[in-house]
Structure 1
Amino acid sequence: MPLRTAAFAVPGDLQTLTGGYIYDLRLLSGLRALGWDITHIPLGASFPDPSKEDMRNAAQQLAMVPPTAPVIIDGLAMGAMDHDVLTGMSAPIVALIHHPLAHESGLPQDTRDTLFRTERDNLALASHVLVPSPHTAGLLISDYDVPSDHITVARPGTDRPLGQLAKTQPPLILSVGIQVPRKGHDVLLRALAKVVDRPWQAVIAGSALDADHASLLLRLVDELGLSHRVRLAGRVSGEELARLYGQASVFALATRYEGYGIVFDEAMAHGLPIISCATGAVPETVAPGAGLLVSPDDHKAFANALAQVLDGHETRDRMATASKAAGAALQNWDGTTRLVADVLDRIAKDAQDDR
């Protein structure tokens, strides 16, 4: 069997427009472009709260992978997998942790505790762990007992914009993130309601993955009198998203936690001033001078930051310049893929030597 053979296990639909799925899809296609014979193992969409059927199916598929083919397992499954499923594998495991499951917002404490224990125990079985940011690496080292030499930080790549679009008037405030509590769109809406005396329009792009939260956001738009100013766009195509980035004047995401945040890189690639929250990996992802970061869950502070950028053209231009410079320096997806390919090469060779 060739050493450059591997598998990639991902729950749900790879075409889902979230940062984690975009990362997985680009990594899968990039590894294939580098000559890897990499099999996509589709796992059930019920992860990270798997049904018995999806768990059985995962066990069957993962057990069939040969012992010399590393298996990348996305964190949505890795952190929620039955321990016996992983110990039943003969192939070496490479965990891909976008952010720990126990750090999702709004979880009951017993669920959070269970996910923490499961993810910690499962990570101990991994030959190596891939993470998108130094923040997540530090968290896995300090809280999950993962040895530092078992972790590789593979920062997401960034595509450069094709051409330049005219900015819309009034200024477009763009937010990109799935409609779940962690993304803080409810905080953003409350902040926008405090700056209605300024000229602006806003679009929130992202799939409604949490139906209850999506309903809450719709109610808030109506209750706060923002129906004529804010569009909840839901899932948009890649072409539409690129157009929105190009037309926007400000990027705003009131996130409660990010293990990385590809959208910040996309905003910087388009030279957008960024308003977000000092949480998780956000402070190390948003370049100095490119953003204003406030405390999570503080809509008044977020509104003040919005007002500062909307009112101050010099401030906005200065932030945009810093953002554009940082975006131009970001690595592309080829760099990310080659870094991961080096990890797989080492794991595959070790597995071959152990036979």
Structure 2
Amino acid sequence: MTSMVVVVLPGNVDDPTAPSGGNVYDRQVCTGLAAAGWPVREIALPGDWPRPDRTSRAALADLLATLADGTVVLIDGLVACGVPEVIGPHADRLRLAVLVHLPLADETGLDPAEAAELDLAERAALGSAAAVIATSDATARQLAARHGLAADRIRVAVPGVAPAPLANRDPAGRRLLCVASVTPRKGHDVLVEALATVTDLDWECLCVGALTAAAYVDRVRQRIAYHRLGDRVTLAGPRAAATLAGTYADADLLILPSHAETYGMVITEALACGIPVLASDVGGVPQAVGRTDTGERPGRLVPPDDPAALGAAVRRWLTDGDERERLRAAAVARRAGLPDWADTASRVGAVLHELGRR
């Protein structure tokens, strides 16, 4: 009989107005663990994680205090990593695993003092955990180096992806798609500046993602207006999974211009539809893009924060038919090697099973 696992999640895990890769991952893992026979107790804690107020801190402390000694607990890193003083006192009696989607200090827009404070908190929190689960090989290496963690304490469980039908292709590849919350880390401002260099070509760009970072959204809209791209670049806001499936079906190229990315789940979502990818060469993105059995990449990687390089890659996509066909063929070939969510849950479950036997 598999022992129970308590999964502690951010309070917005199922909020349709604020979808995120981390929330999707958490939900899929909980579903997969339950399907594999784990009794799963989910607890979603409201709060401005990783910097919660006193009430949210107290709620987490009270929760952990009620759990019996030896309970296996999986905590989302957004909840755990900012409050080591809350989880630390329970580390010896509980079996704590922390799931890190993004190192806290890597969030774009933090001032140096805030980033340093979050980094120290994360180091203490992960140092007290029995196991750390990262979502890419690059993040695992980064956490080990940054926080001095032993390699055998960090496991990797890359995100899965659901099978999807092939997208409907436009021969000219003119339908560009960016799926990401409009926040500083995702680099929409870089995308707009890059697209401003290819206005002589025929294209349209749909940006799907939450618009909750008001100041940054305004900045991006101002750049769109400045370059007179209002009829070509659309900030569409978030879309539910069923609607997003149709969005992928009508796209030709996914663009992800992030400044930091632990993996990039939208990359494999696009590849599942046979859509090539143009993305920043950061974090776990190369692992998500991957290669075919013959070594071909189903997309192109460019330096982050480089509108000229991104614009040049877009231009090549739009003007070089042979390039488009090569990348499309590679994207279709890559579909067969994409991980699924059952595998992700199995990898997480193996870590939790090991903790339960200690």
- Normalising by structure 1, report the TM-score: 0.94
Q: 2:165, 2:272 within 8 Å by CA — same for their partners in 1? A: no
Shift of 1:19: 0.9
**Across the two proteins, how many residue pairs are aligned to each other?**
349
| Residue matched to 2:350 | 342
| Equivalent residue letter for 2:77 | G
Shift of 1:167: 4.2
| Equivalent residue letter for 1:291 | G
Over 3 Å off, 4+ runs? 162-170
SS in 1 for 2:118: helix
- CA–CA distance in structure 2, aligned partners of residues 45 and 176 of structure 1: 25
Q: 2:2, 2:39 within 8 Å by CA — same for their partners in 1? A: no
- CA–CA distance in structure 2, aligned partners of residues 230 and 258 of structure 1: 23
Q: How does 1:168-207 map to 2 (within 5 A)?
A: 171-207=174-210
Q: 1:55, 1:82 within 8 Å by CA — same for their partners in 2? A: no
Q: 1:187, 1:297 within 8 Å by CA — same for their partners in 2? A: yes
Shift of 1:111: 0.5
SS in 2 for 1:40: strand
| Residue matched to 1:71 | 73
SS in 2 for 1:124: helix
Unaligned runs of 5+ in 2: 292-296
- Residue by residue over 1:5-37, the C-alpha shift from the partner in whole angstroms, topping out at 9 and shown as x without a partner, is 011111131124211111001001111111211
| Residue matched to 1:145 | 148
- Residue by residue over 1:51-86, the C-alpha shift from the partner in whole angstroms, topping out at 9 and shown as x without a partner, is 111111111112222223211111111211142443
| Equivalent residue letter for 1:217 | V
| Residue matched to 2:44 | 42
| Residue matched to 1:236 | 239
| Residue matched to 1:5 | 4
- Residue by residue over 1:308-346, the C-alpha shift from the partner in whole angstroms, topping out at 9 and shown as x without a partner, is 011111101101111221222112111111111111111
| Equivalent residue letter for 2:13 | L
- CA–CA distance in structure 1, aligned partners of residues 84 and 123 of structure 2: 12
Q: 1:287, 1:322 within 8 Å by CA — same for their partners in 2? A: no
Deviates more, 1:283-292 or 1:232-241: 283-292
- CA–CA distance in structure 1, aligned partners of residues 47 and 346 of structure 2: 29
- Residue by residue over 1:180-205, the C-alpha shift from the partner in whole angstroms, topping out at 9 and shown as x without a partner, is 10000110011111111111111111
| Residue matched to 2:19 | 17
| Residue matched to 1:298 | 306
Q: 1:3, 1:349 within 8 Å by CA — same for their partners in 2? A: no
- CA–CA distance in structure 2, aligned partners of residues 263 and 164 of structure 1: 14
Indicate which of 337, 340, 345 corresponds to 1:332.
Answer: 340
- Residue by residue over 1:209-231, the C-alpha shift from the partner in whole angstroms, topping out at 9 and shown as x without a partner, is 32211121222222221111111
Unaligned runs of 5+ in 1: 351-355
Indicate which of 68, 86, 99 corresponds to 2:88.
Answer: 86
